[in-house]
Amino acid sequence: LSRSRSVPFIIPPTLHGRDWINLMNEEQVQQDSDPYVIPQPGPRSSFHSLAGAYVVGTINPELYKFPEDQSETDFPEGSIGRLWFSVEYEQESERLLVSLIKVRKLQPPADSCSPFVKIYLLPDERRYLQSKTKRKTLNPQFDENFVFQVSSKMLFQSTLKFLVYHVDKQKKHHLLGQVIFPLKNETLTDDSKIVIWRDLEKDNLEPPSEYGDIQFSLSYNDYLGRLTVVVLRAKGLKLQGESHTASVYVKVSLMNHNKFIKSKKTAAVLGSLNPVYNETFSFKADQTDLDTASLSLSVFQNIDRDKSQLLGRVVVGPFMYTRGKELEHWNEMIGKPKELVKRWHALCHST
């Protein structure tokens, strides 16, 4: 190979219906000779749109030789699996190249496991690309390539989502876990192929609450007197108007005795009911204040330039202000100093 790190990506002459698979087919499995792709009638290509994407074929696993490390053996307690993939961006053709490499140590609901993976490029949640199904294995090797057409302007506002499913004998799909990978902090160039592994998560598998849910991490450093909040993502938001034009942000406010101390805001994410933020904020808070302090995380939708609509809020803090999961999260943060404690919380409309 003239370029040692490159992988040949060949665009098929016709897509043969293997471009997008609609969500309405999510619970179906094809019954004919190809169990992996659900065909759609008529030629159709969205190559020039943001959502354009297509399957490109298999890759040469020899190009992905990993150095000996602990990623194959060092699995955390309670692990439900680990996924390896690579990403590369071709600036000139505006193509995001995604290579699905492998998954290891899946935890299926039954004795056998026949896994496959759906890949989304958020904020477009209507369409996805799908891998082949690997039969009877907890350690599937995929080595498949996928291409998403996305402008360089939109690239760093996008997030890759991998959903790993198991197909049972009745052809039903069971979600085993997911990986969420925001692209905004990545350096993606033609000559830079990034190989990444991520542990599968199961936090997001439950249906959303009435007003949606928000996931964030809390940490308190008693030596520095610093309270840290990592706003990770939200799901199931009830947006007003057309969701693809709506932008949503999270406001984090520190209170003490119900007195406002300071607030900080995430960047607004456009066009998603399930926005991903991954933004970190720190507040000064003495240890003596922790019994009277609280944090409010409010999700807002921008209505126009000067107006926003509250979609929901959650307050975490001591017994003075909270109960249930919100109190548990706060107490766990205090009980594990300097550790990031991550949880999901249901949003509510009470002030």
- Which two tokens mark 181? 């990978």
Q: What is the DSSP string of 221-270?
A: ETTTTEEEEEEEEEES---SS-GGG-EEEEEEEEEETTEEEEEEEPPPEE
Is the pLDDT confidence value at 28 over 60? Answer: no
Predicted confidence at residue 149, as pLDDT, reads 92
Determine whether 103 is exposed, middle or buried from the number of CB atoms within 10 Å of its CB (0-12, 13-18, 19+). buried
Residue with more model confidence, 252 or 114? 252
Q: Which of 77, 62, 47 is nearest to 4 (CA)?
A: 62
Beta bridge pairs of residue 256:
259, 293
Cα–Cα distance for residue pair 195/164, rounded to 1 Å: 18
Percentages of the chain per state (helix, strand, coil), in multiples of 5: 10, 45, 45
Residue with more model confidence, 151 or 110? 151
Model pLDDT for residues 208-263, shown as the tens digit of each residue: 788 999 999 999 999 999 999 999 999 889 888 776 678 999 999 999 988 999 99
- Which two tokens mark 238? 């009830």
Cα–Cα distance for residue pair 15/205, rounded to 1 Å: 32
Determine whether 314 is exposed, middle or buried from the number of CB atoms within 10 Å of its CB (0-12, 13-18, 19+). buried
Question: How sure is the predictor about 77, in pLDDT bands with cuts at 50, 70 and 90?
Answer: confident
Cα–Cα distance for residue pair 9/63, rounded to 1 Å: 13
Distances (CA, A) of 92 to 46, 47, 79, 139, 216: 18, 14, 39, 36, 37
Predicted confidence at residue 169, as pLDDT, reads 80
Average pLDDT, the chain: 79
- 319 in Cβ contact with 327 (< 8 Å): yes
Model pLDDT for residues 273-331, shown as the tens digit of each residue: 889 998 999 999 999 989 999 999 999 999 877 789 999 999 999 998 898 899 999 99
Q: Which of 38, 19, 18 is nearest to 28 (CA)?
A: 38
Helix (H, G, I), strand (E, B) or coil at 104: strand
Question: How sure is the predictor about 189, in pLDDT bands with cuts at 50, 70 and 90?
Answer: low
**Which residues 6+ apart lie within 8 Å of 271 measured at CB?**
123, 124, 243, 244, 245, 246, 247
Domain(s) of CATH 2.60.40.150: residues in the chain: 78-200, 212-347
- Enter the CATH code of domain 78-200: 2.60.40.150
Is the pLDDT confidence value at 174 over 90? Answer: no
Is the pLDDT confidence value at 109 over 80? Answer: no
Where helices occur in 135-197 by DSSP H, the ranges are: 152-155
**Which residues 6+ apart lie within 8 Å of 339 measured at CB?**
219
Burial 34-62 (b: 16+ CB within 10 A, else e): ebebbebeeeeeeeeebebbbbbeebeee
- Residues 133, 138, 141, 142: is their CA dihedral positive or negative? positive
Top CATH class, 212-347? mainly beta
Please state, as a whole number, how many other Cβ atoms lie within 10 Å of the Cβ of residue 275.
Answer: 26
Cα–Cα distance for residue pair 159/183, rounded to 1 Å: 6
